[in-house]
Amino acid sequence: MPPVPIRVGLFVTCLVDLFRPSVGFAAVKLLEDAGCSVEVPAAQTCCGQPAYNSGDKADAKTIARQVIDAFDGFDYVVVPSGSCGGMIKQHYLELFADEPAVYQRAQHLAQRTYELVSFLADVLKLERVEARYDGVATYHDSCSGLRELGVKHQPRKLLASVTGLSLKELPGAEICCGFGGTFCIKYPAISDRMVADKAADIVATGADTLLAGDMGCLLNMAGKLTRLGKDVRVRHIAEVLAGMAGETPPIGAGRPERG
């Protein structure tokens, strides 16, 4: 009898859902290529972080309960974002610390939840991917992925296996890009300065490609780079690892002319 594939529920995240479905499809491909069966529960929208970080615990709990319900039953829940991944894996526990019944279910969900690249490398023990990407890439460590979920060496390891790609370390890779969810809306001038500093670091590497694991950071950095007229292709790491970079223009770069 063939082995039963690992049943993964994909939490696609609101920013991937709205801005860049390609990342969701890249995640599905990576998971399926690695032998998982992937489902996308329909009753998903947001992880609740905007409400949570704004101090609105009630709404955060409503949305979180929805996520807990929707992702019941999967072997694993995989998220192409360190920020949403961290929300589910760490902050749901804080959120429901005062509700023992839900806390237990949140704990069960947290144990099964992983950021995408961490899942591939740490759980599925993937050593390499079969993909090609011609270019010099630099990688930004999104804060939540790095500090809440320990995502650091996994993306670099898998990127090292991509044919044609060479990786140039980004000085200050671990410094926040200034997105911060609600922060960039509340404090746009400070956010803009932070992303300007980040863009300067990126350009100084001479890389032609910027990769990261979080759409919030990517939209922020891409928006700054295009405004500055810099020729850096910005993509989610999933697109490159899945070998799907050729199927979509880089973030913020526009559609090729249709002939």
Partner 1 sequence: MQPTSHAFKENAREALGNANLQKALTLMRSGFPERRAAAIARLPEFEALREEAKAIKNHVLEHLDFYLETFEQQVTARGGQVHWCRTPQEARETVLAICRRLDAKTVTKGKTMIAEEIALNDYLEENGVTPVETDLGEYIIQIRKEYPSHVIAPAIHLVKEQVAASFRATHTELDPNRRLEDAPTLVAEARAVLRQKFLAADVGITGANFCIAETGSTIIVTNEGNGDLTQTLTKAHIVLASLEKLVPTLEDVSTILRVLARSATGQEFSTYTTVSTGPRRPEDTDGPGEFHVVFLDNGRSAMLGTEFQDMLRCIRCGACMNHCPVYATVGGHAYGWVYPGPMGAVLTPTLVGVAEAGHLPNASTFCGRCESVCPMKIPLPKMMRHWREREFEKQLSPAAYRYGLKLWAFFASHPPLYQAATALMTRLLGWFGGPRGRFRSLPLAQGWTQGRDMPAPEGRSFMSLWAERRKNGDAA
Determine which residue in the list 45, 104, 111, 163 makes contact with partner 1, applying CB under 8 A.
Answer: 45
Q: Extract long-range pairs of 185-193: CB within 8 Å, 24+ residues apart.
A: 191/220, 192/224
Closest distance of CB 190 from partner 1, Å: 6
Query: In 3-state terms, the chain is what percent helix, strand and coil (to 5)?
Result: 50, 15, 35
Q: Which of 29, 47, 46, 50 has its CA nearest to residue 38?
A: 29
Q: Give CA–CA dist 148/63, Å, rounded.
A: 21
Closest distance of CB 109 from partner 1, Å: 17
Q: Give CA–CA dist 163/51, Å, rounded.
A: 41
Site string for partner 1, 106-135 (x = CB under 8 A): ------------------------------
- Is 248 a binding residue for partner 1 by CB under 8 A? The answer is yes
Closer residue to partner 1, CB minimum distance, 144 or 154: 144
Closest distance of CB 62 from partner 1, Å: 5
**Distance of alpha carbon 107 from the chain centroid:** 21
Site string for partner 1, 61-90 (x = CB under 8 A): -xx--x------------------------
Considering only residues 171 to 230 of the shown chain, the ones binding partner 1 according to CB under 8 A are: 174-176, 178-181, 183-197, 219-220, 222-224, 226-227
Closer residue to partner 1, CB minimum distance, 241 or 251: 251
